[in-house]
Amino acid sequence: MTDQRPRVLAIANQKGGVGKTTTAINLGTALAAIDERVLIVDLDPQGNASTGLGIDHKSRKRSTYDVLTGQATFAATAMETAVPRLHIAPSTLDLSGLELEIANERDRAYRLRNALASLTRPARNATGKIVGDGYSYALVDCPPSLNLLTINAMAAADAILVPLQCEFFALEGLSQLLKTVEQVKTNLNPGLTIHGVVLTMYDVRNNLSDQVVADVRQFLGDKVYDTIIPRNVRVSEAPSYGKPVLLYDFKCVGSQAYLKLASEIVQRERALAAA
Ligand X SMILES: Nc1ncnc2c1ncn2[C@@H]1O[C@H](COP(=O)(O)OP(=O)(O)O)[C@@H](O)[C@H]1O
Residues that bind ligand X (CB under 6 A): 16-22, 48, 144, 200-201, 229, 231-232, 235-236, 239, 254
CA 182 to chain centre: 19
User: What is the identity of the amino acid at 76?
Assistant: A
For ligand X, the closer of residues 21 and 64 by Cβ is: 21
Question: Which residue, 200 or 209, has its beta carbon nearer to ligand X?
Answer: 200
Task: Return the range that interacts with Mg ion (CB under 5 A); candidates 48-56, 67-75, 96-104, 128-136.
Answer: 48-56
Nearest to ligand X of 6, 239 (CB atom) = 239
Taking residue 228's Cβ as centre, other Cβ atoms within 10 Å add up to 18
Distance in Å, CB of 199 to ligand X, minimum: 10
Q: Can you tell me the distance from the alpha carbon of 77 to that of 87, in angstroms, rounded to the nearest whole number?
A: 10
State the minimum distance, in angstroms, from the CB of residue 52 to ligand X. Answer: 8
| Strands of the chain, DSSP E | 7-11, 38-42, 79-80, 86-89, 137-141, 159-165, 193-202, 224-230
Are 8 and 115 in contact by the 8 Å Cβ rule? The answer is no
Rounded to the nearest whole angstrom, what is the least distance from the CB of residue 101 to ligand X in the complex? Answer: 24
Kindly tell me which of 143 and 230 has the beta carbon lying closer to Mg ion: 143
Closest contact distance (angstroms) between CB of 220 and ligand X is 18
With a CB cutoff of 8 Å and minimum separation 6, the contacts of 266 are: 31, 34, 36
136 touching Mg ion, by CB under 5 A: no
Question: 3-class secondary structure for 96-127?
Answer: HHHHHHCCCCCCHHHHHHHHHCCCCCCCECCC
Backbone angles phi, psi at 86, to 5 degrees: -115, 120
21 binds Mg ion (CB under 5 A): yes
20, 121, 195, 243: residue in contact with Mg ion (rule CB under 5 A): 20
Task: Check residue 150 for interaction with Mg ion (CB under 5 A).
Answer: no
H or E element at residue 199: strand 193-202
Nearer to ligand X, 144 or 173 (CB): 144
Residues that bind Mg ion (CB under 5 A): 20-21, 48
